[in-house]
Structure 1
Amino acid sequence: MTNVFNQLAKTYDTPQRQALAETILTEIRPDFAEASDKTLLDYGGGTGLLSLPLASLVKEVELLDLSEEMSHLAQEKATIAGLENFTSFQGDLLGEQPALTPPDIVLMSLVLLHIPDTKEILTALYQQLTPGGQLILVDFDTNPLVSHPKVHSGFDQGQLQELLQAIGFTHIKSHTFHTADHLFMNQPASMFHLRATKPAIV
């Protein structure tokens, strides 16, 4: 998987992916209305299509991606843009990882579908978050038209909410916000936006 994304890195920011990123940004920007003192972890953030535009809304951004080429390109883009609060790392929470600042917000957009063990990665993100921290998750709704050995065919929002609750998250809310043709594996599909909170220490 890493090699595939290394090969894609230089040509990843297509007009279609940029347009989709804008759709997602329009949806999630309100989540950052009061985040000027927060640290954001963009997990699986690729070339920074989402977190680079969000950098002005938070105190610090750390992007973590398995692909060395993707993370390197994101850092190049941040340097060119003069963003001093943006750092990109190559790594994985389920394997060897760099020393990250405990994030107040974790963003994971169109990444969960690539990770075989959903519970394992969501638990790892829960453990990374600061008490009172927020998980922002964007992914595809369950799609019977999609079948691939290395990709989940979307997620049932209700089942995902139950899993997050079992892990320890609270105040879990989600809704479908975008539907389009050729959206997921070239099939008609819809995307959802989910928010969940790690309880603050009492």
Structure 2
Amino acid sequence: MPASTNPFDGSARNWDQRRMSVQLAEVENLLLPLLVLNDQQHWLDFGSGTGLLSVPLAARVGRVTALDTSANMLEVLDEKGVSNIETHNQNVFAGLPCDYDGVVSCMALH
């Protein structure tokens, strides 16, 4: 298997422990209750990484599609075992459904 060229693959295992990630998770936990969410909704997390936003969102909606360019970040997310999160390793919307009830993104633009 060729070495990954994605710069985030190397930091995936420790991503959730980074100070910035912990601080952002705290902010997200304050903001999510302000959204009108229900278990019938399907949300897209664009640039989901390890799921810092996908996981708490999945607890409040029916389904989350997590999209990221880093296979290793998505592997960490998959290991969290959240059954209503579907991961996709790609950077474009080609082939994905377009019927989302909402789109979220955190740290996708570095």
TM-score (norm 1): 0.47
- Unmatched runs of 5 consecutive residues or more in structure 1: 115-202
Partner of residue 100 from structure 2, selected from 92, 95, 103: 103
- Secondary structure at the aligned position of 1:61 is classed as strand
Residue equivalent to 1:90: 89
Question: Amino acid of the residue matched to residue 60 of structure 1?
Answer: R
**Larger strand percent:** 1
Question: Amino acid of the residue matched to residue 99 of structure 1?
Answer: L
Q: CA shift at 1:19, angstroms?
A: 3.0
Q: Distance in 2 between matches of 1:15 and 1:69?
A: 16
RMSD: 1.9
- Secondary structure at the aligned position of 2:25 is classed as helix
- Secondary structure at the aligned position of 2:83 is classed as coil
Give the 3 Å change call, closer, same or farther, for CA 18–100 of structure 1 in structure 2. farther
Residue equivalent to 1:42: 45
- Cα-to-partner distance string for 1:36-94 (whole Å, 9 max, x where unaligned): 211010000100011101112101011000111111111111x1xxx321111101126
Residue equivalent to 1:30: 34
Percent identity between the aligned chains? 31
Give the 3 Å change call, closer, same or farther, for CA 67–100 of structure 1 in structure 2. farther
Q: Distance in 1 between matches of 2:75 and 2:101?
A: 24
Higher alpha-carbon Rg:
1
**Is the aligned partner of 1:19 residue 2:16?**
no
Aligned residues: 105
- Secondary structure at the aligned position of 1:3 is classed as coil
- Unmatched runs of 5 consecutive residues or more in structure 2: none
Give the 3 Å change call, closer, same or farther, for CA 44–56 of structure 1 in structure 2. same
TM-score (norm 2): 0.82
Give the 3 Å change call, closer, same or farther, for CA 34–54 of structure 1 in structure 2. closer
